Amino acid sequence: MNTTFKTLSIAAALAASLGLAGCAANAGSGSSVPMDHGSHGAMSSSMPGAGSMMPSAGADHNQADIMFAQMMIPHHSQAVEMSDIILAKSDVPAEVTALATKIKGAQAPEIEQMTGWLSGWGAPTAMSDHSGHGMSGMVDDAGIDKLKSATGTEAAKLFLEQMIGHHEGAIDMAQQEIGAGKSPEAVKLGHDIVDAQQAEITQMKQLLATL
């Protein structure tokens, strides 16, 4: 019985250590975050033994780096998608479309950068087929549909409200990477995300006050 207890304790400790980057999955959520859509799937895919976690850490990176990239790629991809939706509208205030252009211009290259890291590390780009859903700040399908159908000032407000929560989720994940990551490039990207997106949150809140 003693041996079994010790084995379970070690397994639990490893699970807690390797799952660190996913700990923010339910933090910093806004009203647009799906509370009942796949959050358990995202958490379970972060656990040791998931297919995406098979590549072992190397001298220049660890499992936290792998999970950071795997989770941030779909997170960034949705921000680009939301920006494209707002940029396709002709009746949105110029300040909001300018911000959407800025967000897309920053996050699309970061997606390519993180995809390159994962390729070099021998890790898949996705944790699971549904890894993007349930992560902090992600907008659910109904929220995306609502953004698509909204027009004018309503669309601008909705975009800003959704993107504030989305940015807060990205900052949560970036802070986890800063604390647990090993790759200097990945940790630097974590710092860049925190700095850039916190500034954009401030800007978006100011824009909301004017609409």
Give me the domains of the chain, ranges plus CATH numbers: 2-48+58-210 (1.20.1260.10)
What is the predicted pLDDT for the residue at 135?
75
What is the predicted pLDDT for the residue at 57?
63
pTM of the model: 0.71
Question: Rg of the chain over CA atoms, in angstroms?
Answer: 18
Q: Which residues of the chain have pLDDT under 70?
A: 1-58, 128-134
What is the predicted pLDDT for the residue at 58?
67
